[in-house]
Amino acid sequence: MILSKSLLLYTFLSSVYLHCVICSSNTHHIDSFLISCGEANPVRSEDGRVFQPDFNNTHVSISPISDIIVSTSQMGVPKMLSSARVFTTSSIYTFSTKKTGRHWLRLHFYPVKNARFDLDSAVFSVEANGITLIHEFSFFRGGNQSQSQSQSRSQSYHLFKEYVVDVTGLSSGKLVLGLLPWDNSIAFVNGIEVVYVPDKVFSSKVVPIPLGVARELPVRVGFETVYRINMGGSRLSPKNDSLWRIWESDVSFLLNPAAARNVSVNPDLIRFRDGVSTDIAPNWVYATAEEMADARVSDQRFNISWRFEVEQGFGYFIRLHFCDIVASRLHDLVFNVYINNQSAIDSLDISQRARGLSAAYFVDFFTNVSMGSDNILVQVGPNHLTGYLPTALLNGLEIMKMSNPSDSLDGRLGVNLDSTDVKKSKSTRLMIVVLSCLGGVFVIVVLLLISFMCFLCCRRKKKPKEDDSLGWSPLPTYVGNSGNKFSSSTFGSTTCLHSLGQMISFSEVREATRNFDKSLLLGSGGFGKVYKGVLENGLVVAIKRGNPRSQQGLVEFKTEIEMLSKLRHKHLVSLIGYCEELNEMILVYEFMAGGPLRRHLYGSNLPPLTWKQRVEILVGAAKGLHYLHTGVSETIIHRDVKTTNILLDENLDAKVADFGLSKFGPSLNQTHVSTAVKGSFGYLDPEYFRRQQLTEKSDVYSFGVVMLEVLCARPAINPALPREQVNIAEWAISWQKKGEIAKIMDPNLMGRVNLESLKKYCETAEKCLSENGNQRPSMGDVLWNLEYALQFQGVDVGDADSMRGISEIPDRIPEVESVDMETVSDLDLESNGTMRD
């Protein structure tokens, strides 16, 4: 008898072990990178996975490389956490993925004790593909994670973060992870996991709470896993999950544990119907549940309730997992589901939706957690209809925070961080105090004047459309030149039929593009697609059409119109008009036949530019930026200067484009503007990167990178190159300091550049790239130096046949270029240029 029981126990344990092995091996890890940072040899984790070193890894590169490694042999610290790579400057890990789409990104942080660095006091931020994951984190400050993050700490100081990041065509199969130390501090990381998310794991639509029409799940949105719960069961480790996820027990989240009881079945009995991927959740999750306890009354009128603390001010993706493992017949189990005291599902018949008993079923919801609230309440309870079991159950739950409009998953980096907004708020409060101290008569006069002005504004304001469902207010209509504070000489010609910033009807846009004919497609980006078009008056234009189903780019759309409607300059791309009919976001620009500067440097078959042409193009771009910095009443910082945002016309005259990320500069009593970091990797001012303090010198730094890109005819960031060459700024300046930068210049320029011209050019670029912004020249000085370099060049043998234009400029710019590394350089926050490679 004892032998029989032992045999049965052994058989059961063997079955369980075999099931674990099958679950862990049944993966779709086309892209799976398990990285141990700082270790020289592979490391096996407690769950059996093997983490590879981050150095000399064929699929992972670090730029700039950091040789600072700390480690410990402290007892109780897992081997995978016993080492860390430390960064004293902003650095990036680049993962070359085989698949596009969503990827899990898991980060391990553990402050290893060592004599050289105090990792506990390190302050740093983390970004990935333009999404801010962690902002100004420090273990010493208690971190920035909520209490709910305790699910994934194997040690008291081990911080584990799990995200979902999109790797699309914009990033060219690259996942770029940025580690940004703050002032005089360091950044570090112990382990990194990148795993491809199969297509069926995320459904395309979610149901909003309160209930409404199902919404599309935006592709570019980032996710952070806040909770992943196995109801009624124990903790599941990565070896139990095909995608190496961790599932926690629900016990600590039950509001009334006495209201629930654990139920379970053999995991092998769980079925996944057609269309439901086995990667959705392990069968172990569906094999256990919390069911309503038996209150021993005829009419059970209570719910099982779970409360989860979350960060306020964010949207949350909520997935509920169900499986009927308690009923003996189909359609016996029917109950209600509630989220935040709102009905989510009324009379849920699991067996009907899952098409059988013990069949897996899940449903996705979306809800906003408003300011002032910090929890999500999930409940299940009976529906009180006769003929059904008086019970309810829940098998599993996942809650994921969604990135906000600032592309941030950290509440410390909110939408309204800008100091200009703080300044306005303070000014408003000050005005209220002043007015309250004035005499009653004066207040009445002021109010009458304000009322009169509001009356005039209302008369001019365009009436909003009643069918506008995008959630953004219509933009004001700008007519004519709105820069009346400046002399007329600063504005270009206004002979176009359409005045600056004019509203253009959607029907005219559709006609101009032949109903958005694919043959007229110039390029595409995160905001939408760009088409060549011809307006009714014969004017050739570039038409940028936003995706009407996406919330991405609304801020940039407004900023672009508000900025360009007030600016007019020979070296700035002109905004002809815009359209906001039928939930469309469309911008209409002057057409630039030459396309982006980058296409004339590399990645195309266009003839190489001469040195004189290159410097003339940069002179034009510098004039445009100089005008932004000094030629308007309030300094404008472009914030995304790069070779794809410098467009050329048919005569190779340069114009600065894409003002979606632009900001007004500091006022007279300010030295900088405090704002979220936005721009493009490779071009970002490191000082702005570290301090989030923006000045016009940030544009100067980016322009210095552009100068090197023009000189060397290569991308700003190219992870495919040897590590010392990845970042053009570091690589070229190292040669400049040796006085040998001519060795790395574009071979097409060899023997065709005046040495004095080259010397002046390279000295200027080096000054632009100074670490300290105060040591960089102004754009006016940069412009003067470039014109000086141009005078040295003159017209020599190499430029004797140089023309102001080039022949055979293609009208159509391909949607995807296969050569240049644009998307590697542009990974931080894509700003959707008017034309794109």
Range of lowest pLDDT (139-148, 266-275, 820-829): 820-829
Share of the chain above pLDDT 70, in %: 75
pLDDT band at residue 797, thresholds of 50, 70 and 90?
very low
pLDDT of 581 reads: 75
| pLDDT above 90: residue 451 | no
One-letter amino acid for residue 238 of the chain: P
Q: What is the average pLDDT score of the chain?
A: 78
In 3D space, the residue among 587, 580, 569 whose CA is nearest the CA of residue 498 turns out to be 587
The CA-to-CA distance between both ends of the chain, in Å, stands at 76
CATH class of 598-825: mainly alpha
Residue with tokens 């771009």: 621
The residue with greater pLDDT, 423 or 631, is: 631
Higher pLDDT, 22 or 145: 145
Annotated binding-site ranges: 544
Residue 553 has a pLDDT of 60
Dist CA 735 CA 605 (whole Å): 28
Q: What is the pTM of this model?
A: 0.54
Tokens of 514: 């032949």
Calpha distance 803→809 (Å, rounded)? 14
Tell me, what's the pLDDT at 66? 87
Domain 28-197 and domain 488-590, same fold? Reply is no
Any residues with CB less than 8 A from the CB of 706 and at least 6 apart, and which? 597, 618, 621, 641, 642, 643, 646, 683
Most confidently modeled range among 154-168, 405-419, 565-579, 621-635: 621-635
Calculate the CA 212 to chain-centre distance: 27
Annotated binding-site positions for ATP = 544
When comparing pLDDT for 488 and 120, which is higher?
A: 120
pLDDT surpassing 60 at residue 819: no
Q: What is the mean pLDDT of residues 99-125?
A: 91
pLDDT above 80 (res 144): no
| Per-residue pLDDT tens digits for 532-558 | 999 888 888 999 888 655 444 666 777
CA distance 674 to 691: 8
What's the average model confidence in pLDDT over 224-247? 95
pLDDT band at 525 (very low <50, low <70, confident <90, very high): low
- pLDDT higher for 579 or 85? 85
3-state DSSP: the chain helix, strand, coil percent, rounded to 5? Answer: 30, 25, 45
Tokens of 217: 């799940």
DSSP-derived pairing of the beta strands 575-579 and 502-503: parallel
pLDDT tier, 749 (very low <50, low <70, confident <90, very high otherwise): very high
Q: Is 695:686 a contact under the CB 8 Å cutoff?
A: no
pLDDT in tens, 34-92: 999 999 899 998 888 999 999 888 889 998 888 899 988 888 888 889 999 999 998 99
Instruction: Say whether 83 sits in a helix, a strand or coil.
Output: strand
* pLDDT of res. 334: 94
Tell me, what DSSP letter sits at residue 739? T
> Mind listing the pLDDT tens digit for each residue in 380-424?
999 877 778 889 999 999 999 999 877 889 887 643 333 333 333
Out of 289-298, 736-745, 811-820, least confident range: 811-820
**Residue 631 pLDDT grade (very low, low, confident, very high; cuts 50, 70, 90):** confident
Higher pLDDT, 232 or 631: 232
**What is the average pLDDT across 487-494?**
26
CATH match of 208-402 with 2.60.120.430: yes
Class of domain 488-590: alpha beta
Q: What is the pLDDT of residue 169?
A: 52
Distance (Å, rounded) from C-alpha 72 to C-alpha 138?
A: 20
DSSP 593: T
Question: Average pLDDT of 580-585?
Answer: 76
User: Helix or strand or coil: residue 503?
Assistant: strand
Catalytic residue numbers read 640
**Type of residue at 598:** R
Q: Which fold has domain 28-197?
A: Jelly Rolls (2.60.120)
Task: Assess whether pLDDT exceeds 90 at residue 248.
Answer: yes
Pairing of strands 50-53, 215-216: unpaired
Buried b (16+ CB within 10 A) or exposed e, 752-785: bbbeebbbbbbebbbbbbbeebeebbebebbbbb
Nearest to 85 by CA among 137, 129, 48, 122: 122
Residue, of 411 and 711, whose pLDDT is higher: 711
What is the DSSP annotation of 255-307?
S-GGGEEEEE--GGG-B--TT--TTSS-HHHHTEEEEE---SSSS----EEEE
Least reliable range by pLDDT among 180-184, 329-333, 706-710, 757-761: 180-184
Give residue limits of the domains in the chain: 28-197, 208-402, 488-590, 598-825
Residues 6+ apart with CB under 8 A from 347: 334, 335, 336, 383, 385
